[in-house]
């Protein structure tokens, strides 16, 4: 009889705690998704394109892990010092590739650069 009375109170308590945990997890997932969709304004994108030597100098845009990897036609046309200001976490230049790390979502920046330049690039592979 004592066990039945105890279970009568424990089971609703376990269910309530489980529901609270599920709601907390759902809220955390929703907040995390919204963080990745930071609004990148048009001026920011236009400045990046300009610092990369203009839209005619950009050959390809890729995402390599969290970094933006941009292939350019001519390294002499880029403004590396300005890119360092916008990407304080690092600007890495290897061959004709420039890797930038931003606090924003790299996929979002890639899409916006593609929108501003000649049109959409069709090379979607990750390097």
Domain positions in the chain are: 1-35, 42-116
pTM for the predicted model, two decimal places: 0.61
pLDDT digits (tens, 9 = 90+) for 37-47: 445 788 888 99
Q: How far is CA 95 from the centre of its chain?
A: 24
Predicted local confidence at residue 34, as pLDDT? 54
Higher-confidence position of 58 and 37: 58
**Under CATH, which number does the domain 42-116 receive?**
3.30.1360.60
pLDDT class for 2, splitting at 50, 70, 90? low
Kindly state the average pLDDT of the residues 113-124. 66
Instruction: Name which of 16, 87, 24 is nearest 78 in CA terms.
Output: 87
């Amino acid at each position: 009889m004592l066990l039945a009375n105890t279970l009568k109170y424990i089971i609703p308590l376990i269910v309530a705690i489980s529901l609270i945990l599920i709601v907390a997890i759902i809220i955390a997932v929703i907040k995390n998704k919204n963080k990745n969709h930071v609004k990148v304004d048009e001026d920011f994108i236009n400045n990046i394109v300009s610092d990369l030597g203009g839209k005619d100098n950009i050959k390809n845009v890729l995402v390599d892990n969290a970094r933006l990897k941009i292939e350019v036609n001519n390294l002499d046309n880029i403004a590396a010092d300005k890119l360092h200001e916008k990407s304080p976490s690092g600007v890495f230049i290897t061959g004709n590739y420039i890797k930038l790390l931003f606090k924003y979502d790299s996929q979002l920046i890639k899409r916006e650069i593609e929108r501003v330049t000649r049109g959409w690039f069709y090379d979607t592979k990750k390097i």
